[in-house]
Amino acid sequence: MNFRFKLSRRLARIKLGAIIAAAFVLGCGLTQAGPVVDRIDHINIIPGRVTLLPFQAAPLTLVVTTSHGDPASPGSLTWSATGGTIVNNGIIAGVPHITYTAPAQTGTYQLIVTTVTGTPTATASIAVTATAVPVNAVSVKPANVSLALADTTTLSATLADATGAAIFGRAIDWTSSDAGIATVLATGFVRAIGAGTATITATSEGHSSTAVVTVRP
């Protein structure tokens, strides 16, 4: 095998490699993914069951799960109700918030939240009663909080009737087991005062729930 033949074979291999590489690049270009579409997979209305008096309002949150875990834009959701009115409060901390106001007529109503395409869909049940139903349970969230000295946080208390439906507009009494460690205001606002652990209690109509606040030195 002479030098010219060896050189010809080497050049042929180089050309073949270049052709294969070009075909690979072209193929990748043809199969390149298009723009990513963030699809809404699930909608959850919180709370999903509510008991109200006529004309009473209830704040609701819409927990939306998208195909990429991102919050949905307000324009992606639509809502309606078989009675009452709905106000859009916008997105707060990445979560859509709405306020539902009960109609004058008692009865059971449906709040429907969906997307502009009509799927998926979530429904909340609204019971409107002529008289206030009694509080049957209280739930405080979060149940455990860790704070540094002088830090603050706000606890929330959810009230429910005997059926488990959320109720609103009732007086809630907040107390601390040790005000030298953590104080609490009537709004559930907590301030860390000294190192240690204190129990914060929310009470309404004889029912209560607690949260444990640990203050780090």
Q: What percent of the chain has pLDDT over 70?
A: 79
Residues 214 and 197: beta-carbon distance below 8 Å: yes
CATH code for residues 40-128? 2.60.40.10
Altogether, the residues listed in the chain come to a count of 217
Report CA Rg, the chain: 30
Q: How far is CA 58 from CA 86, 127, 166, 182, in A?
A: 10, 12, 9, 30
Say if residue 200's pLDDT is above 90. yes
The closest alpha carbon to 96, from 122, 117, 118, 119, belongs to 122
Percent of residues, the chain, with pLDDT higher than 90: 68
pLDDT for position 121: 94
| Rounded alpha-carbon distances, angstroms, from residue 66 to 60, 77, 88, 112, 146 | 19, 12, 20, 18, 31
| pTM of the shown model | 0.76
Distance CA 182, CA 189 (A): 10
Query: What pLDDT does residue 75 have?
Result: 62
C-alpha 158/C-alpha 57 separation (Å) is 15
Question: pLDDT at position 40, please?
Answer: 84
Residue 216 has pLDDT above 90, yes or no: yes
Give yes or no for a contact between 144 and 210, defined as CB atoms under 8 angstroms apart. no
pLDDT, position 29: 41
- pLDDT, mean over the chain: 85
pLDDT tens for each residue of 60-101: 999 988 777 665 565 678 999 999 999 999 888 888 999 999
Please tell me the class of the 137-216 domain.
mainly beta
**For the segment 146-192, what is each residue's pLDDT rounded down to a tens digit?**
999 999 999 999 999 999 999 999 999 999 999 999 999 999 999 99
